Amino acid sequence: MTLTAGCILVCVHIWRDGFVTPVHVIGGGLAGSEAAWQLAQAGVPVVLHEMRGVRKTDAHQTDGLAELVCSNSFRSDDWQFNAVGLLHEEMRRANSLILKCADKHQVPAGGALAVDREGFSRAVTKALEEHPLVTIVREEVTSLMDKPWSNIVCATGPLTSEALSKVVLELGGEGHLSFFDAIAPIVHADSIDMSKAWKQSRYDKEGPGGDAAAYINCPMDKDQYEAFIDALLSGPKAEFKDWEHVPYFDGCLPIEVMAERGRETLRYGPMKPVGLTNPHNPTVKAHAIIQLRQDNALGTLYNMVGFQTKLKHGAQADVFRMIPGLENAQFARLGGLHRNTFIQSPKLLDRQLRMKAVYPEKSIRFAGQVTGVEGYVESAAIGLLAGRFAAAEARGTTLPEPPETTALGALINHITVGHLEGGAFQPMNINYGLLPPMEAPKKDDDGVKIPLKERGRAKKRLMSLRALNDLNSWLEPHKTMVSAE
């Protein structure tokens, strides 16, 4: 349900007299929405504060909860051989609202889990608005310590408002680190010339929906590629005030920055010409290929995969229409940049994600990208954990952290221990390198020797099986968490 701030006080007194003191979740993005859901499903009342509706951000376009700002992809859904897919599976087993809505609103994307971003956001918003223990308040929260709230989850994300950022900075005594994310353009499907482009997933790999032709591919020969690189490098870029150096996150580099690192960089990145055959000219190998991924359920919008950009809007259409098949492209959204912020979590947070400087006076937990995880799924995962930790505390107990052998536990390790030696704490996606290692198996389950080149995959599968087994052991004693169904 959605109430005004004035109605909240009455609800708080009712909850305090008869039930559990409510937990206040600040931020209605992926992490905040997931945290609120986990709390409510555990029987703990939640007040979810979201400023969109009264104040806009630099990147969001709607007031919907869990709006996807950049890509519409949750990346690989392969739990056996990919750490992101493993995290998907762990979250499904922990009754994640974000994964439930993503599965319900998936669109074709090869081996990835991609969603209709509008349908996904509507589903998350509806689930929380209709939950009897969730109250949504549209307001900007600008202070923490002077609020009569004892249990808080701060999930304001990389676009934390300046006012709240200053509060967090003062409480923690540690400077914020900032970097910039770039947003990829979205193209109207009917403006793509399919006499030059074609549909195919790389290596014809089927995704969760069973579609092996989930991407639209646009080929380039060498001359076209070289001309495109020249245009990227010479095109007018967004300017930054008061910044001599822009610290980008390597997993979301603008294509111009990649091109600046070498003319062949894009051919080994988002434009790699492998695993694809052009049916219009099957005997000629493309020099580079641009892929577009379905962005909505209707299939009317496609986003340019890996084409985050800092080109000024006036130049984007001209440069991207140099791509064969996109000569007459109509853009539903052009690319852009927005500033991200994260905290020095290993110094500021304990293993329960609480700010050490103010605990036990207050329990202020942090969740999402602001903690130093990178990616939609990772952000939601930290929201899931923060929600469960806060729910246990609201009921007078303590929930232990998930085992470090799980993807969830590995993320907790990353943001509360980190690797500060030799460099500053940096955002990171989930990967097998964050999990305790295992020895690669030499034989399969039937005793057959595994070829050396395949042992890496076999090792990943063993680590995934161990993770899910250990996760089940962690979840088993805590079945008070209600199913997401």
DSSP string, 235-283: S-B---TT-S-----GGG--HHHHHHT-TTGGGGTTT---S---TTSTT
Which token pair is 41?
């499903």
For 27-45, what is the mean pLDDT?
97
pLDDT at 17: 39
CB atoms within 10 A of CB 442: 10
CB of 84 closer than 8 Å to CB of 170: no
Return the CA Rg of the chain.
23
Which of 14-23, 225-234, 305-314 has the lowest average pLDDT?
14-23
CB of 89 closer than 8 Å to CB of 379: no
For 18-25, what is the mean pLDDT?
82
Higher pLDDT, 384 or 8: 384
pLDDT, tens digit (0-9, with 9 covering 90-100), for 100-144: 999 999 999 988 999 999 999 999 999 999 999 999 999 988 888
Which token pair is 67?
């709006």
Which of 1-15, 208-222, 352-366 has the lowest average pLDDT?
1-15
Q: In what order do the strands lie in the sheet with 288-294?
A: 198-199, 215-220, 288-294, 301-304, 186-188, 331-333
For 462-476, what is the mean pLDDT?
96
- Reference 81, options 73, 89, 92; nearest CA is 89
d(CA 12, CA 39): 16
Q: What percent of the chain has pLDDT over 90?
A: 57
d(CA 358, CA 294): 45
- Angle formed by the axes of helices 83-93 and 97-104, to 10°? 110
pLDDT at 14: 38
pLDDT at 242: 46
- If you average pLDDT over every residue of the chain, what do you get? 86
Q: Whole-model pTM?
A: 0.77
User: Tell me, what DSSP letter sits at residue 232?
Assistant: H
pLDDT, tens digit (0-9, with 9 covering 90-100), for 319-339: 999 999 999 999 988 887 766
Question: Under 8 Å CB-to-CB from 352, ≥6 apart: which residues?
Answer: 365, 389, 393, 398, 401
CB of 70 closer than 8 Å to CB of 115: no
